[in-house]
């Protein structure tokens, strides 16, 4: 009896350790699942505020073909750049204007690089990043201008309602970007 009792007590102790270990593992799995759900909800919130709102507010929804009419540097504008914490310096950037013919309507329109370009400066099609070296900005704008002259036919986006008398080259928030920004949080939520 004594040996049997010792073996039985030892088996019960092993079972208790196993149950305790499983319980700790289950707790970790539940916490991981809850953390993933909280992250998914936060991603939905952040992406809904940024991407979805910008996507819905964009009026350039239809894709068409544009043909280059003219690309030229018209003037320079002042800008400021950061040189460290609490330090800002003034510089300039060249303004590239690109006029295109919208093939579907035959209209002559100003082309903007993205939706944001128009918000920064309505006179410029392309705005380089503001930096201390004006020559670097000028060479970058010249490269962009030469690319337009090299590839004269390209896709662009226009406002089908005709409220905006301009077109954009690249959409910041396309339907593909929107799909992925909502798909992956959904997968994380359902995991």
Tens digit of pLDDT for each residue in 134-174?
899 999 999 999 999 999 999 999 998 878 889 999 988 77
φ and ψ at residue 48, rounded to 5 degrees: -65, -35
CA distance 119 to 57: 13
pLDDT for 173: 78
The pTM of the full predicted model, rounded to 2 decimals, is 0.70
Q: What is the tens place of the pLDDT at every residue in 2-30? A: 666 666 666 655 555 555 555 767 778 88
Spell out the domain ranges in the chain: 2-58, 62-172
pLDDT in tens, 123-141: 999 999 988 888 999 999 9
Q: By three-state DSSP, how is residue 191 classified?
A: coil
């Amino acid at each position: 009896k004594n040996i049997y009792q010792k073996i039985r007590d030892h088996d019960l102790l092993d079972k208790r350790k196993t149950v305790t270990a499983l319980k700790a593992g289950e707790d970790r799995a539940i916490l991981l699942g809850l953390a993933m759900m909280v992250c998914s909800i936060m991603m939905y919130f952040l992406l809904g505020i940024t991407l979805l709102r910008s996507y819905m507010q964009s009026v350039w929804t239809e894709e068409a073909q544009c043909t280059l009419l003219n690309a030229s540097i018209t003037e320079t504008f002042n800008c400021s750049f950061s040189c460290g914490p609490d330090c800002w310096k003034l510089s300039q950037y060249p303004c590239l204007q690109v006029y295109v013919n919208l093939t579907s309507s035959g209209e002559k329109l100003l082309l903007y690089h993205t939706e944001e370009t128009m918000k920064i400066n309505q006179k410029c099609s392309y705005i380089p990043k503001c930096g201390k070296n004006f020559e670097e900005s000028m060479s970058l704008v010249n490269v962009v201008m030469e690319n337009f002259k090299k590839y004269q036919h390209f896709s662009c986006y226009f406002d089908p309602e005709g409220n905006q008398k301009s077109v954009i080259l690249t959409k910041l928030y396309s339907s593909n970007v929107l799909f992925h920004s909502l798909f992956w949080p959904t997968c994380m939520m359902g995991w």
